[in-house]
Structure 1
Amino acid sequence: MRWTDPGCHLPYRRRVPFKPILTARLENGESIPLLFWRLPTPMRAVSSAPLGGGIGLRGWVLNATVPMSYAREDPQQHLVALAGDLDLDGPGVGLLTGVDVTQRVAAVDGEAEVWATVGLGAPIMAAAERDLPRQHKPGTINIVAFVPVRLSDAALVNAVATITEAKAQALWELGLSATGTATDAVTVLCPPDGPAEPYGGPLSLWGARLARAAHRAVREGGSRPKIPWSER
């Protein structure tokens, strides 16, 4: 089954054992949205997030909207504080974005699931000349993915590459000369037990499913008008 649901209602037959929770926190007199996943048990994760990156067991994921003027030099500590306010204990993954996380997109392919918040304010080509003028308009694509089978370390890393390739394909199909933004992050979650799938590339069963779901989520999210949360 393949579909995209911008509201994250998931009526497919075999539901994942967790779903994102949308809430908000009060900062400087403003209610700012954030999205988090409280995992039923710690899961294997690979992530490029500013908090909890790398490979290991993680018990939660947090994707927090921040204003376009965000200039804190301690994002890890900020995310730790936000997680603490939500009673998210132990190791977890923390993400930041200028996108309004209420506009997240969910996509499912088979039993692989992807959630994406898509900000395209500052698209770049990964291999562009480094002396190009600095982009001042923020934008971030955060992707959180889940598969219901254990992936080996190599397959987890491969899955990140596969999702990133699918993201780049979606941006190309949207007419953007870009592979992403400079602050994109990917997180892939899987159970810690059971036989380990050795592959996560686009021709593997789970890599292909992740690629299709990520492509659909990014393309759907990227096709919408984007107004940063702080400009609403």
Structure 2
Amino acid sequence: MTTPFLSDDSKIYRSTACPGLTLTRYDRHLLLHTPVYMDCLSSAIQGGGKGKIDRIANIYVDRFYNCDHPEKDIEKLFLEWDYPLSSTAGLLTAVRLEYAAVHEETGNDASLFCCTTAGVSNGARAGSERTTYPVYEPGTINIMLMIDARMTQAAIVNVIITAVEAKAAALADLGIRDAENGLIATGTTTDSIVVGVSQSAAYPTEHRYCGTATDLGAAIGRAVYGTVQESFKAAGVKHS
């Protein structure tokens, strides 16, 4: 587990688990760039849903950001930065970019890279009664998870289930609570996730499942749990 951008001198992180993958820190955003197009499933504002991507931009906005038209705001920035709209996923975060945490693992049938930016100003417990809103707010826990492997579409959905379970476990173990009702939080009100899979023919095995009983699911759980906690630690969030 590492926080590569806590040092002002750190601008680029090169993956050891996924060759060619880079994570670059710019003044306004983090850019994850992969050497190949990845099968993607995500809740990203720009480029969300199912598709092919080779970039993810995690864009910093302050907590007073006017979020009436986030898609248009991201599109404008992508045009300014010369990022292709068709293959770039865009996220918004109110978490300082230097608090990004990274975890990587390599294996015989899969390797993975995970980067998380996490904050708890709007911690929330799913299923509990609380105030809700019809509009989008900047993401507080953003997870970017790239997997070098072969996977079925069902297994990719399973990745998201496992990742969300790990995120909730990390919050519970930190004692993070719903800001309104004091119950243990399962996330925040504005979390986002992007999952990318290389579908590399170099791997002999096609993963059909990705739950916590599988080797890959366990690795995903470790990566998400660890990066959520590490990002909180970098931001100075302490165990309650």
Q: Fold match, TM over 0.5?
A: yes
Match for residue 121 of structure 1?
A: 121
Q: In structure 1, what is the Cα distance between the partners aligned to 2:144 and 2:13?
A: 15
Alignment-derived partner of residue 47 in structure 1: 42
User: Match for residue 27 of structure 1?
Assistant: none
Between the aligned partners of 1:138 and 1:34, the Cα distance in structure 2 is 13
Out of 2, 6, 10, the position equivalent to 1:5 is 2
Instruction: Give TM-score scaled by structure 1 length.
Output: 0.83
Aligned residue number for residue 95 of structure 1: 91
Is 1:205 equivalent to 2:202 in the alignment? Answer: no
Say which is worse superposed, 194-203 or 69-78, in terms of deviation.
194-203
Q: Does 2:191 match 1:188? A: no
Unpaired runs of 5+ residues, structure 1, are: 25-32, 228-232
Deviation at 1:139, TM superposition (A): 6.2
1:48-197 alignment runs, 5 A limit: 48-89=43-84, 90-110=86-106, 111-130=111-130, 140-176=140-176, 177-194=184-201, 196-197=206-207
1:27-62 superposed Cα distances (whole Å, 9 cap, x missing partner): xxxxxx211123222111110111111121112111
The question of 1:23 aligning with 2:26 is answered yes
In 2: Cα distance, 1:223 partner to 1:56 partner:
33
- Partners of 2:18 and 2:113 within 8 A in 1: no
Supply the distance in 2 between the matched residues of 1:140 and 1:78 (Cα, whole angstroms).
18
Give the alignment's Cα RMSD to 1 decimal: 2.5
Describe the shift of the 1:206–1:108 C-alpha distance in structure 2 as closer, same or farther (beyond 3 A).
Answer: same
d(CA) in 2 for partners of 1:214, 1:205:
14
Structure 1 equivalent of residue 31 of structure 2: 36
Aligned residues: 214
- Cα distance in 2 for partners of 1:11, 1:75 equals 29
Which amino acid in 1 is paired with 2:24?
I
Judging changes above 3 Å, is the alpha-carbon distance between structure 1 residues 144 and 12 closer, same or farther for their aligned structure 2 residues?
closer
1:173 Cα deviation from its structure 2 partner: 0.7
Structure 2 residue matching 1:201: 3-state secondary structure? coil
CA change 1:138–1:189 in 2 (3 A) is: closer
Query: Unaligned stretches of 5+ in structure 2?
Result: 6-11, 177-183
User: Shift in Å at residue 81 of structure 1?
Assistant: 1.7
- Using the size of structure 2 for normalisation, the TM-score is 0.81
Distance 1:141 1:126 in 2: 15
Partner Cα distance (1:132, 1:40) in 2: 39
Q: Distance in 2 between matches of 1:215 and 1:109?
A: 13
Task: Map Cα deviations across residues 107-141 of structure 1 (whole Å, 9 max, x no partner).
Answer: 123332210000110100011114589xxx97610
Relative distance call for 1:131 and 1:69 in structure 2 (3 A) is: closer
SS of alignment partner, residue 61 of structure 1: strand
